[in-house]
Amino acid sequence: MVAKRGKSRQNIDMESLLDLIMPENCVICGAKGKSLCPNCKQKIIAESSNFCLECGNFIEESCPDCRLPYQKSYTVGFRDEAVGKIAEKYKFSSKRSLARQITDILMNILPDFSPDTVVVPIPTIKKHVRMRGLDHTKKVAKQLAKAKKCRFSPLVSRMNDSVQVGANAKKRLEQAKTAFKIDEKELKKVFNEKSAVFLYDDISTTGSTIKECAKLLKKSGIKNISVIILAKNR
């Protein structure tokens, strides 16, 4: 009995423990307790809307009007809404506790994943990871894969550290075409004929990054590709 109690203590959720010892303020309403309070989180989930990343029309899972290198896309909302504030606080302020809240939101809007599904993050620029002390897309993608009981893989990697902030749509597209590559070792490790890939990125401005990464996956032989975006610029 003593051994069982000791094991139970080891399994305590450390983030839940920190919520009790060092409660945070909700980044949306300021309520004390968590980095995102239950009321604000539920409101974001209830008001989430899915729209085409190319034309902006509201869709269910795919756009009938746009030819895209992926089959399905899922979004939570726009960058000027509450979800955009969460994305920015997590990304630019390295508010780590928001990773779990973002994962909870995604779990509520995404369909079921098969065990052969692979969650792949859009890789963060290395110097930004060093500056922030956090690879924000990788952390959420890992948590999402664990929650969905499927696989995680850094299947897409960066070839350079070109920064897109401030670049226009044409420049972003040019940068995206040369910024990424497929990790062949990871491809051999995780890919099979049943594999479905979900590409995850937090903020999308023009959609060029997610499209180019999907094209690379398609060229590698992966046919079932979906994308997940937390917040999109209008």
Residuewise pLDDT in 10s, the chain (234 residues): 444 444 434 444 555 555 566 689 999 999 998 999 999 999 999 999 999 999 999 999 999 999 999 999 999 999 999 999 999 999 998 888 999 999 999 999 999 999 999 999 999 988 888 888 889 999 999 999 999 999 999 999 998 766 555 555 555 556 666 689 999 999 998 888 789 999 999 999 888 899 999 999 999 999 999 999 999 998
Could you state, in order of their start, the residue ranges of all structural domains in the chain?
51-232
Separation CA 71–CA 180 (nearest Å): 20
* Single pTM value for the model: 0.84
Give the containing element (helix H, strand E) for 88. helix 82-93
Question: Long-range contacts: 24-29, Cβ < 8 Å, 24+?
Answer: 24/97, 27/85, 27/86, 27/89, 27/95, 27/98, 28/82, 28/85, 28/86
Residue 178: both structure tokens together: 């040369």
CB 195 within 8 A of CB 118: yes
Q: Which residues touch 182 (CB under 8 Å, ≥6 apart)?
A: 155, 156, 157, 216, 217, 219, 220
* H/E segment holding residue 85: helix 82-93
Cα distance between residue 133 and residue 54, in whole Å: 32
Indicate the pairing of strand 117-121 with strand 196-204.
parallel
Q: Do β-strands 224-232 and 156-158 pair in parallel, antiparallel, or remain unpaired?
A: unpaired
The answer to whether the Cα torsion of 185, 159, 165, 205 is positive or negative is: negative
Residue 48 DSSP SS3: coil
The domain 51-232 is placed in CATH, from the list 3.30.70, 3.20.20, 3.40.50, 3.30.1330, at 3.40.50
